[in-house]
Amino acid sequence: MAKKETVFFCQQCGYESPKWMGQCPACKEWNSFVEETVKSEKGKKVKAIDNAAKIVSINAVEGLDNARVKTGIGEFDRVLGGGLVNGSLVLIGGDPGIGKSTILLQVCRNLANCGKKVLYISGEESVQQIKLRADRLGAFTDDLSLACETSLTSIENMIENNKPQFVVIDSIQTMYGEDVNSAPGSVSQVREATNTFLRIAKSLDITIFLVGHVTKEGAVAGPRVLEHMVDTVLYFEGDRHASYRILRGVKNRFGSTNEIGVFEMRDTGLREVENPSEFMIEGKPKDSSGSVIACSMEGTRPILLEVQALVCNSNLAIPRRTTVGADINRVNQLMAVLEKRAGFNMFNCDAYVNIAGGIRMNEPAIDLGIALAIISSYKDKPIDDKTICFGEIGLSGEVRSVSMAEQRVKEAKKLGFTTCIMPAINLKSMAEDKEIKLIGIESVKELSRFLS
Ligand code: TYD
Ligand code: MG
C-alpha cells in the first residue's frame, strides 16, 4: 500500500512544513501546525492544453465596464467599484453575526428581482433557517434558489445543472472536497474549495460570492493565498452591538480599494446610509472640551467624524495612553510633538482618544483633529461647535498639506459648518468662500488660539 503523504500546515498563514513545529517561522504563531494529508500529484497526467493562449492587441480587447451588473444596493456597488463584474470571485469576511449572510441574501434578492438566476448555497444554515431570515427582508421571486450543501462535487454538479448567473457560498470554511483528507476549514480544504470555485467562476463566467470567517486577529481564516486567489476582498466591520456596519474594500481587481460602504442594521435587514458624515457626528456633545470634528477621506468620499480626547493627571509611573479607532503610535507621536513644539507638558497625563461611532480611521489628515481634541481636553476649553479641521502634523510641528482639500471643505459646508481650520499650504490654492471661514495654519504653535 502506498504511504500516505502528510505535511503540516500553519492554520494561521498556510505555511507548509514536512515536520511539526512549535512556532510558525512565517507568521510567528505558536501551536498552529496541523497535520494534513495531501493529494499525491505523482503519476497524475498533465492535461493537454486544448485552447492555447492567444495574443491579442490591447485595443482589440473589449472593455468590461459596460458589463457591470448593479446589485441595487448603492453602497455595495460603490465598494465593488461600480457593480459586479461577470466571472469574478468576491470574498466577504467579517466577525460572526456582523451581517455577511444578511447582506448577501439582500444582494441575491435584488439580483433575482431583476430577473437574474441566483443560487444561494449554505453550509451553515438549513433552507428553513434561510427562509426565516428572508422573510424579514421582503418578498423574493422564484429566480432565487436555495441549497444546503457542503460537498464540492455536489455543488459543482448543482451549478452545472442549474446554470445560475450568481452563486453565494456561505461559507468557504464549511466546504468539503472528498479527495482532500483533512477536516473542513483546514488550510488544504479551504485552498481546494477556493480553487474549485475559481475554476467554476472563470470557466462558466458566473459571479461567485464567498463568505469567509475571520480569525481573532481579524483576517480571513485560512491561508493568505485565499485572498490572493479571489478578485475582490471585502471586510465587514463595526461594532456588533452598535447598529451601523462598514463594508471596506481591501482588494479589488476592478476598482479602487479605498471605498467604504456604510450600512445600518435594522429589523428588516441592512439599510444603506447615504450620508455617513451626518451619521458619524450625530450626538456630538455641545460646548464640551476634548471633542473636535475632523474630516477624513475614504476613497473618493469625505467623511466627517468626531474625535474625542480625555487628558487627565496620571497616578501611574508610566501614564496610560489608550485609543479606540485611531492608531496609538500616532497619538503618542502627536502628544510628543505637542509637548516639544507647542509647550503642552503632558508627560504626566493619561490620555484616551476615541473616534466616536467605533469607525477605524488612519488617515494622517485627522492628525489636526486629534491634536486639537487633546489640547482642548488638557486645557479643559471647548472648540467652537461649528468648526471642523483637517491636516497632517509633522515631527517639527509643521502642519502639512493633505489631498482633496476642496472636497473636504465642500462636505463641511454641506453640513452647516462655518469655520474650517486647514493647512496654510492648501489654503493658498483655494478661493475665498462666503459661506465658510477658511483658516490656514502652519504650525501646532497656533492651535491654542482656537480654544475658547
Ligand atoms: P448574519 O447575517 O447571520 O451574520 P454573519 O453571516 O455575518 O454571521 O447576522 C445577522 C445578525 O443581524 C444577527 O445578530 C441578527 C441581526 N439581524 C437584524 O438585526 N435584522 C435583520 O433583519 C436580520 C436578517 C438580522
Ligand atoms: Mg452567516
Q: What does 270-338 look like in DSSP terms, one character per residue?
A: EEE-S-HHHHHHTTPPTT-TTEEEEEEEETTEEEEEEEEEEEEE--SSS--EEEESS-HHHHHHHHHHH
* CA 211 to centroid of ligand 2, rounded, Å: 8
Could you read off the pLDDT of 261-318 as tens digits, one per residue?
A: 889 888 899 999 888 888 888 888 888 999 999 999 887 789 999 999 999 999 999 9
CB of 106 within 6 A of ligand 1: the answer is no
CB of 241 within 6 A of ligand 1: the answer is no
For ligand 1, pick from 265, 268, 271 the residue to mutate: most ligand atoms within 8 Å of CB.
265
% of the chain exceeding 70 in pLDDT: 92
Could you read off the pLDDT of 419-433 as tens digits, one per residue?
A: 999 999 999 998 888
3-state secondary structure of 203: helix
Residues ≥6 apart with Cβ < 8 Å to 199: none
pTM for this predicted structure = 0.79
For ligand 1, pick from 95, 98, 102, 267 the residue to mutate: most ligand atoms within 8 Å of CB.
102
Q: Of 383 and 10, which is predicted with more confidence?
A: 383
CB of 133 within 6 A of ligand 1: the answer is yes
**pLDDT for 273:** 87
Distance CA 441, CA 296 (A): 18
Residue-averaged pLDDT of the chain: 87
* CA 30 to centroid of ligand 2, rounded, Å: 29
**pLDDT for 90:** 94
Which residue has the CA at smallest separation from atom 13 of ligand 1?
A: 97
* CA 91 to centroid of ligand 1, rounded, Å: 18
Mean pLDDT is highest, among 12-26, 52-66, 235-249, 399-413, for 399-413
Could you read off the pLDDT of 184-235 as tens digits, one per residue?
A: 888 888 888 999 999 999 999 999 999 988 766 656 656 566 888 899 999 8
Could you read off the pLDDT of 142-185 as tens digits, one per residue?
A: 999 999 999 999 999 999 999 999 999 998 989 989 888 888 88
Could you read off the pLDDT of 2-38 as tens digits, one per residue?
A: 566 788 888 777 788 899 999 989 888 888 888 887 7
Counting from 1 in the atom list of ligand 1, the atom nearest the Cα of 96 is 8
Distance CA 53, CA 55 (A): 7
CB of 102 within 6 A of ligand 1: the answer is yes
CB of 142 within 6 A of ligand 1: the answer is no
Which run of H or of E encompasses 33? strand 33-37
**pLDDT for 301:** 85
Average pLDDT over residues 85-103: 90
Could you read off the pLDDT of 36-48 as tens digits, one per residue?
A: 877 655 544 445 5
Average pLDDT over residues 316-341: 94
CB of 101 within 6 A of ligand 1: the answer is yes
**pLDDT for 345:** 92
* CA 91 to centroid of ligand 2, rounded, Å: 13
What is the gyration radius of the CA atoms in the chain, in angstroms? 26
Q: Where are the alpha helices (DSSP H) in 81-232?
A: 100-113, 127-137, 152-162, 187-204, 225-229
* pLDDT value at 124 more than 60: yes
Average pLDDT over residues 236-240: 77
Which residue has the CA at smallest separation from atom 15 of ligand 1?
A: 97
* CA 15 to centroid of ligand 2, rounded, Å: 27
Mean pLDDT is highest, among 80-89, 96-105, 281-290, 367-376, for 367-376
Average pLDDT over residues 436-447: 94
Distance CA 106, CA 266 (A): 13
Q: Which ligand is nearest to the CA of 109?
A: 1
**pLDDT for 216:** 62
Q: Which ligand is nearest to the CA of 136?
A: 1
Average pLDDT over residues 321-338: 94
**pLDDT for 46:** 47
* pLDDT value at 399 more than 80: yes
CB of 98 within 6 A of ligand 1: the answer is yes
